[in-house]
Amino acid sequence: MDEALLKVESEKLADVVVLRAEGEVDSYTAELLRDKLSEAFAEGVPVVLDLSGVEFFASVGLSVLVEYHQRGEERGTALRLVSPRGSVLRALKATLLNETLDLYLDLDSALRA
């Protein structure tokens, strides 16, 4: 597994955890994204996942987003996605997940939500 293809940084703010992802989300790196989301959700506050640095997004990434969106709904903990573009946005639109998930154009908008 080459996790160097994906980098996910975490920052805990007063009432939110911000994850910044860079690189590629595919079958080799999705577990890293899942692990980082799991750690963030353990904080019990809303989670903002900034996808603006993601260049490639495979369908396994959609599964991770759906999993944590559902987990957030069950726990009352929001998952907010920032700046999905390129392959991320195409994948979300192709599956109509752009109508289900909370999408924001920039980090400030997601933090204010």
| Predicted confidence pLDDT, tens digits, the chain (113 residues) | 455 799 999 999 989 999 999 999 999 999 999 999 999 999 999 999 999 999 999 999 999 999 999 999 999 999 999 987 888 888 899 999 999 999 999 999 999 98
Global pTM? 0.92
pLDDT at 112: 92
pLDDT at 87: 82
Q: What is the total residue count of the chain? A: 113
Question: CA dihedral defined by 113, 44, 53, 90, rounded to 10 degrees?
Answer: -70
CA distances (Å), 4 to each of 24, 45, 51, 67, in order? 9, 28, 16, 23
